[in-house]
């Protein structure tokens, strides 16, 4: 059988979107003056129609004003504008939140999006190397939407064919400097569409005071601090283990104490038990002794015993919950157990061989099987090396604070995290508690700052939220 091979020739009109096999040769057409005017009028009408579809309320308002002017005169148009202004003012005074959401916010985003981004879009894309030249024509990624918020502007961009989010991640720093903003990060919406989150005001420069203790802890969203866009930073604890990595004085204690603080009402009610291990001689966690159901810090044997008891509790719950549920629901009789380890490397790397082996075995059992039965591990460490923590991937939620080397970012958050914007090695020492969070199911790290819990806050926590009775295991004597 003979095969006929047709060579594909690129078409200029389809240069970005694809190719077609043949090129249609069209003779040049000489248009008259009226023909040129007709073509341009058609283009203008198409653009006006597209603008009306994108902004239907504005188009309806302009059409109504024109009809009213033609039918009743300009006096009625002014009267209608005055009535609308009074209604909007009343809305703003009575319902400022909804007014900001439905009126002020979209209006501000439209104006600022045009003034700050759309009118400069072409030179920004060209100088950043994100445009495409083909056959003498320039193609630009389309800026589809701009959302302006108090701290971050989000730009929805439709990628060109052949581009990927990695192209923009590699140019994120250049984009930030070109736009004269502090940072720019890439967030994938769907294939071919990304968000560029441009930070213009950093809410993380100022220290965050200790947050109020929630009356009922939401284990799916525990408040720990503030995110880069100014919104509360909430952490999911139920069904997840948490790893906190950072250099000395990076703010690991702020994360741990903010987490414990958000659980205080649950501790007092008996819905949550905190089992604490402090291999640094108790210097960090002793303040909260009265809040802990178990606390081990003196010797490695005490710490291993606590880990063994945690594994035994996990086994017991597995037998009781087998076939009944896939995720433990905390109750006063069967509380959520949160195992807090302040310096994990002291058990897995800096102790004797037998302790290292035993602690690694117990921790891996808890990390691989404890989530479903309500035994959660929250661990902090300074050295994120692979030899120090070989089972890093068992932590679904990871928090990286300031580190000393760029390679340590990927050691904590996973491969490629720094390329996606988690520049933890560039966090200054003057910003303790600032870091990046990587949660399960999300590709991009989120920049956050944990609240600072002072010694006075700790004393108040112990005074107000220490439970009057203990359930389950008895706390070890300190």
Domain identity same for 264 and 229: yes
Domain identity same for 305 and 388: yes
Give me the helices (H) in 388-436, please: 407-413
Q: In which element (H, E) is residue 83 found?
A: helix 74-94
Distant-in-sequence, close-in-space partners of 197: CB < 8 Å, separation ≥ 6 = 152, 153, 154, 184, 185, 186, 187, 229
Phi, then psi, of 381 in degrees rounded to 5? -155, 155
Burial class of residue 260, CB neighbours in 10 A (0-12, 13-18, 19+): buried
Residues facing 419 on adjacent strands: none
Domain identity same for 325 and 365: yes
Distance between CA atoms of 408 and 17, rounded to whole angstroms?
A: 40
Domain identity same for 243 and 354: yes
Q: Which of 51-65, 171-185, 310-324 has the lowest mean pLDDT?
A: 51-65
b/e code 427-449 from CB counts within 10 Å (16+ = b): beeebbbbbbbbbeeeebbbbbb
Model pTM score = 0.75
Q: Residue 439: which of 190, 268, 238 has the closest Cα? A: 238
- 129, part of any domain: yes
Domain identity same for 228 and 345: yes
Domain count, the chain: 2
Torsion of CA 393, 395, 401, 406, to 10 degrees: 0
**Tokens describing residue 227:** 């995110």
Domain identity same for 151 and 275: no
Report in angstroms the alpha-carbon separations of 237 from 201, 371, 372, 389, 444. 29, 9, 12, 21, 19
Residue 470: pLDDT band with limits 50, 70, 90: very low
- pLDDT (tens digit per residue) in 76-102: 878 888 888 888 888 888 888 888 877
To which residue do tokens 């691989």 refer?
A: 368
Name which residue leads in pLDDT, 382 or 449. Answer: 449
Residue 234 pLDDT exceeds 60: yes
Domain identity same for 193 and 284: no
Share of the chain above pLDDT 90, in %: 32
Residue 473: pLDDT band with limits 50, 70, 90: very low
Distance between CA atoms of 21 and 118, rounded to whole angstroms?
A: 36
Q: Which structural domain range is residue 353 located in? A: 222-465
b/e code 223-235 from CB counts within 10 Å (16+ = b): bbbbbbbeeebbb
**Tokens describing residue 67:** 């009809």
Burial class of residue 21, CB neighbours in 10 A (0-12, 13-18, 19+): exposed
Q: Residue 189: which of 153, 158, 229, 143 has the closest Cα? A: 158
Q: Residue 426: which of 442, 441, 412, 409 has the closest Cα? A: 409
Mean pLDDT in residue range 443-450: 88
CATH number at residue 236: 3.40.50.300
Domain identity same for 418 and 297: yes
- 31, part of any domain: no
**Tokens describing residue 116:** 């700050």
Residue 61 pLDDT exceeds 80: no
- 149, part of any domain: yes
- 59, part of any domain: no
- 115, part of any domain: no
- pLDDT (tens digit per residue) in 112-153: 888 889 888 999 999 999 998 887 888 999 999 898 888 888
Phi, then psi, of 244 in degrees rounded to 5? -120, 120
Q: Residue 357: which of 310, 307, 399 has the closest Cα? A: 307
- 475, part of any domain: no
Name which residue leads in pLDDT, 323 or 360. Answer: 360
Mean residue pLDDT across the chain: 84
Residues facing 358 on adjacent strands: none
Domain identity same for 143 and 278: no
Domain identity same for 450 and 321: yes
CATH number at residue 130: 3.30.980.40
Distance between CA atoms of 255 and 434, rounded to whole angstroms?
A: 10
- What pLDDT is recorded for position 237? 92
**Tokens describing residue 380:** 């902090």
Which runs of E-coded beta strand occur in 193-327? 193-199, 222-227, 232-235, 242-245, 272-277, 294-296
- 344, part of any domain: yes
- 331, part of any domain: yes
Looking at residue 447, the DSSP 8-state letter turns out to be E
Residue 235: pLDDT band with limits 50, 70, 90: very high
Residue 29 pLDDT exceeds 80: no
- What pLDDT is recorded for position 23? 57
Domain identity same for 244 and 352: yes
Domain identity same for 261 and 375: yes
Cβ–Cβ < 8 Å for 165, 123: no
**Tokens describing residue 141:** 């990624």
């Amino acid at each position: 059988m003979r095969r006929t091979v047709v060579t594909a020739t690129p078409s200029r009109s389809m240069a970005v979107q694809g190719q077609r096999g043949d090129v249609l040769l069209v003779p040049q057409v000489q248009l008259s003056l009226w023909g040129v005017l007709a073509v341009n009028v058609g283009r203008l009408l198409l653009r006006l129609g597209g603008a009306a579809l994108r902004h239907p309320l504005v188009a309806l308002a302009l059409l109504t004003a024109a009809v009213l002017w033609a039918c009743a005169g300009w006096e009625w148009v002014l009267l209608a504008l005055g009535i609308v202004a009074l209604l909007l003012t009343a809305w703003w005074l009575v319902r400022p939140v909804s007014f900001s959401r439905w009126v002020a916010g979209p209006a501000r985003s439209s104006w600022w999006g045009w003034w700050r981004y759309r009118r400069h879009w072409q030179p920004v894309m060209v100088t950043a190397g994100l445009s495409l030249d083909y056959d003498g024509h320039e193609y630009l990624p389309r800026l589809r939407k701009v959302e302006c918020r108090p701290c971050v502007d989000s730009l929805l961009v439709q990628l060109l064919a052949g581009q990927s989010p990695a192209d923009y991640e590699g140019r994120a720093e250049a984009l930030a400097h070109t736009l004269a903003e502090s940072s720019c990060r890439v967030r994938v919406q769907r294939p071919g569409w990304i968000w560029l989150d441009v930070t213009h005001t950093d809410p993380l420069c100022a220290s965050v005071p200790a947050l109020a203790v929630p009356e009922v802890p939401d284990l799916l969203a525990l408040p720990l601090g503030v995110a880069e866009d100014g919104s509360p930073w909430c952490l999911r604890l139920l069904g997840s283990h948490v790893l906190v990595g950072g250099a000395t004085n990076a703010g690991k204690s702020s994360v741990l104490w903010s987490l414990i603080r958000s659980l205080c009402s649950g501790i007092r009610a008996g819905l949550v038990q905190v089992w604490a291990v402090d291999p640094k001689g108790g210097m960090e966690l002793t303040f909260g002794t009265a809040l802990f159901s178990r606390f081990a810090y003196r010797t490695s044997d005490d710490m291993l015993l606590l880990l063994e008891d945690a594994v035994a509790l996990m086994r017991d719950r597995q037998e009781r919950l087998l076939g009944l549920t896939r995720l433990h629901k905390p109750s006063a009789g069967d509380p959520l157990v949160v195992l807090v380890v302040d310096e994990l490397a002291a058990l897995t790397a800096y102790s004797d061989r037998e302790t290292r082996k035993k602690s690694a075995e117990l921790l891996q059992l808890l990390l691989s099987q404890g989530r479903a039965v309500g035994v959660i591990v929250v661990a902090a460490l300074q050295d994120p090396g692979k030899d120090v923590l070989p089972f890093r991937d068992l932590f679904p939620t990871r928090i990286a604070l300031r580190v000393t080397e760029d390679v340590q970012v990927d050691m904590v958050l996973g491969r490629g995290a720094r390329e996606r914007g988690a520049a933890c090695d560039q966090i200054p020492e003057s910003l303790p508690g600032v870091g990046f969070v990587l949660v399960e199911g999300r590709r991009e790290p989120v920049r956050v700052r944990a609240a600072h819990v002072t010694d006075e806050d700790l004393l108040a926590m112990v005074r107000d939220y220490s439970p009057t009775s203990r359930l389950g295991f008895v706390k070890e004597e300190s």
